[in-house]
Amino acid sequence: MSSTVCFAPSIVTYERDLAEIRRSAEEDRDFSFAPIDRSQVERYLNPPANTIYPLEYAHHLLGDIHEKTILDLGCGKGENLIPIAERAGHVIGIDISPELVRLAQARIQSSTVNADVVVGSAYETGIPDATVDVIFCAALIHHLDIPRVRTEMARILRKGGFVVLSEPIRFSKLYDRLRKLLPARRNISEYEHPLTTAEFEYLLSGFELEDVRYFRLPFVPMMRRWKKMNYFACNLSAWLIAKVPVIRHFGTSAVVRLRKRTTD
C-alpha cells in the first residue's frame, strides 16, 4: 500500500479553480469519513454493459486496465480511485482541492491499493507528454474551461489511449423549464452547469468517439428524493431510451469513451 500527496508543478490559478476550491472546502467540512464499504467498491469492479447507472457504465468502459497507467482526473475524495486501483497497473489521482486530496489519501491508506494522489489543475497536470494510457473523468468537465482541459487531456494521453467521461448534460430547453421543479442543489460553484449540445460536441471533437450512452430522463432526478422509487425510475428511463432512441436528447447524463487517434 502506498499513497503520496504533493503539488504538481506550474499550477496556474484561474477564477474557476478558485470557485472550485471554495466549493470543495465546503464539501470537506460537510463530509464525515467512514470505513470503505466493500459493496460500493465491488459494484464498480466488473459492472455489466446493460447497467442502468451511468457511473457503473463508465467503469465498464474501462475494460482490461491491469497493465495500464490510469489518471483519475478530478478524483475528489477518491471514491473511484479504489475500484480503479484494484484493476489497474498504476493509478494517479489529481484534484484542485487540497482538502479533497487529503480525504482521498485517507481513503487509500485505509485500503490495500497503491495510488499516487496529487494536488493540481486539470489545465496543467504536470504529467509528461503521452504517458497516460487511460483518463477517467467523472462529473468534472462541466466545472471547467472545456478547451483548456481538452487540450491537456490530449497532451498527456498516449496515442491509441482513451478517455472515459461521465458528465451531466442538458440538451433540451424543455428540461430547463422542468428543472425548476427540482429542489435547489447545495454546494455548487457559480461556473458549473450541465453541458450544452455545443459544449458536448466540442469536447468530443478531436477524438474518435467509440461509445456513447445517455442516462436518466428528467423524471429520474425528480424522483431521487424518494429512495424506493429511484431504482424503478432508472429502469424505466433506460428502457425508454433503448426503445425510443430519439428521446435520449432529454437525458440528463452521458457517458462516453473517446480514443486518441494514432495518426495525431
Residue 208 forms beta bridges with which residues? 259
Residue 81 maps to a domain: yes
Using DSSP's 3-state secondary structure scheme, residue 26 falls into helix
Decide: 197 and 204 in contact? Cβ < 8 Å.
Answer: no
Q: How confident is the model at residue 10, as a pLDDT?
A: 42
For residues 234 and 2, what is the distance between their CA atoms, to the nearest angstrom? 37
What is the domain extent for residue 94? 5-171+193-215+255-259
Q: Report which of 168, 196, 172 is spatially closest to residue 247, judged by C-alpha positions.
A: 172
**CA-based torsion, 97, 167, 64, 153: positive or negative:** negative
Q: How confident is the model at residue 253, as a pLDDT?
A: 96
H or E stretch at 100: helix 98-109
Q: How confident is the model at residue 12, as a pLDDT?
A: 39
Q: How confident is the model at residue 54, as a pLDDT?
A: 97
Decide: 113 and 82 in contact? Cβ < 8 Å.
Answer: yes
Q: How confident is the model at residue 6, as a pLDDT?
A: 47
Q: How confident is the model at residue 261, as a pLDDT?
A: 86
Q: How confident is the model at residue 172, as a pLDDT?
A: 78
Q: How confident is the model at residue 19, as a pLDDT?
A: 62
> Dihedral angle at the C-alpha atoms of 78, 82, 84, 89, nearest 10 degrees?
110
Task: Count the neighbouring beta carbons within 10 Å of the beta carbon of residue 137.
Answer: 22
Q: How confident is the model at residue 161, as a pLDDT?
A: 97
Residue 61 maps to a domain: yes
pLDDT tens for the chain, residues 1 to 264:
445 444 454 443 456 666 666 656 566 555 666 667 888 899 999 999 999 999 999 999 999 999 999 999 999 999 999 999 999 989 999 999 999 999 999 999 988 899 999 999 999 999 999 999 999 999 999 989 999 999 999 999 999 999 999 999 998 776 666 655 555 555 555 667 899 999 999 999 989 999 999 999 988 987 777 777 889 999 999 999 999 999 998 999 999 999 998 875
- Between helix 197-204 and helix 146-156 the angle, nearest 10°, is 20
Decide: 25 and 97 in contact? Cβ < 8 Å.
Answer: yes
For residues 29 and 189, what is the distance between their CA atoms, to the nearest angstrom? 16
Task: Count the neighbouring beta carbons within 10 Å of the beta carbon of residue 73.
Answer: 27
CATH code assigned at 154: 3.40.50.150
User: What letter represents residue 119's amino acid?
Assistant: V
Q: Left if phi > 0, otherwise alpha if psi is -120 to 50, otherwise beta: which for 78?
A: left
Task: Count the neighbouring beta carbons within 10 Å of the beta carbon of residue 19.
Answer: 16
Question: What is the tally of structural domains in the chain?
Answer: 1
Decide: 172 and 247 in contact? Cβ < 8 Å.
Answer: no
Cα of 149 vs its chain's centroid, Å? 13
Residue 184 maps to a domain: no
Residue 66 maps to a domain: yes
Residue 233 maps to a domain: no
Residue 181 maps to a domain: no
For residues 25 and 89, what is the distance between their CA atoms, to the nearest angstrom? 31
Q: Report which of 164, 171, 166 is spatially closest to residue 217, judged by C-alpha positions.
A: 171
Residue 239 maps to a domain: no
Residue 101 maps to a domain: yes
